[in-house]
Amino acid sequence: MRKQPRIVAIGGGTGLSTMLRGLKLFTTNITAVVTVADDGGGSGILREDLGILPPGDIRNCILALANTEPTMEQLLQYRFTEGMLKGQSFGNLFLAAMIGISNSFEEAVKRMSEVLAVSGKVLPVTVEDVRLIAELENGTIIKGESKIPEIQQKENSRIKRIYLEPSPAAPFEEVLVDILNAEAIVLGPGSLYTSVIPNLLVDGICDAIETSKAIKIYVCNIMTQPGETLGYTATDHIKALFDHGLKSLDYVIVNKGEIPEEYRQRYIRDLSEPVKYDKEEIEKMGIKVVEEDLVTVKQEYIRHDEQKLAEIIVDLIS
């Protein structure tokens, strides 16, 4: 039987769940480490209303790794369209209910994972109630993950740094153990400042990544993101990771594929463009560049080709 590599994938949002769907074809030894700084949408409402950690990104990762029939996935992704539950996803409510019958958030996540026959595991990076704060280069302070892109665009000033309140936030112990035992640690893809970096701000995470003998891989986004990374190159993405505590990377995976013209134009109208990269510049930082055509279109959005991406990661490990 083919060896199943131990992979820790760190992030949040759509990017992480996309990659997990590909990785589970190659290994069940996956730990998805997910940020819990989300305070917008249905997750934000449940966070305020029930005082629980935001379930949205956790739910998406559980579903990405689940081995369940399509109807069940459809049900858990279903969003109510009217009434008091308008905009809320059934999966969020499922996890909220599981929290109600469990002794802790992390136990609820494990029990939901068992119910849905998840390959691997999904862990919150911390179980503390943290808020994400951004400081822009013009001095503006933005409190709350959901407000960062909107206010950053209005201010038209780059993000200087992000941090957590309260700080330091203690890591979830199992996350540290899995990072130290991993063969590969993969950061991204996903929103740089609101999905990937918040994990690095939790106490001990960057030290554990550095101590681990795993290969360290960053999957760079295909497109820049308005409100976060407008005008950023791949080098800018990497520098932001280092500015927030990451100490080293072995590989960066970048997209060299063309964006279909109709989508390119639509993204440009939304102030988003393909992420450019300078291979020599990145290699001067001691990081190997892996170039591949990774573009696919899903539900009218540009996404990474999950299977190709997973194949590259598994090849790098072996």
Express each pLDDT in 254-294 by its tens digit. Answer: 999 999 999 999 999 999 999 999 999 999 999 999 999 99
Terminal alpha carbon distance of the chain:
15
Query: Do 22 and 51 belong to one domain?
Result: no
Q: How far apart are CA 284 and CA 245, in angstroms?
A: 19
Q: How far is CA 271 from CA 60, 234, 235, 266, 267, in A?
A: 26, 17, 19, 9, 6
Q: In terms of domains, do 83 and 44 share one?
A: yes
Same domain, 46 and 26: no
Report pLDDT for 144. 96
User: How sure is the predictor about 3, in pLDDT bands with cuts at 50, 70 and 90?
Assistant: confident
Q: Give yes or no for a contact between 202 and 34, defined as CB atoms under 8 angstroms apart.
A: no
Shared-domain flag, residues 237 and 179: yes
How far is residue 104's CA from residue 183's CA, in Å, rounded to a whole number? 29
CB 4 within 8 A of CB 45: no
Residues 58, 197, single domain; the answer is no
Would residue 225 count as lying in a domain?
Answer: yes
Which of 121, 138, 158 finishes a domain? 121
Q: According to the model, what pLDDT value does residue 1 have?
A: 46
**What domain range is 252 assigned to?**
1-34+168-317
pTM: 0.95
User: Does residue 133 lie within any of the structural domains?
Assistant: no
Q: Are residues 195 and 292 in the same domain?
A: yes
CATH of the domain at 313: 3.40.50.10680
156 φ/ψ sector (left φ>0, alpha ψ -120 to 50, else beta): left
- Residue 75 makes CB contacts below 8 A (sequence gap 6+) with 90
Do residues 28 and 40 both lie within one domain?
Answer: no
In the block, tokens 């590909």 appear at: 22
One domain, residues 49 and 103: yes
Q: For residue 166, name the pLDDT band (cuts at 50, 70, 90).
A: very high
Taking all residues of the chain, what is their mean pLDDT, rounded to a whole number? 95
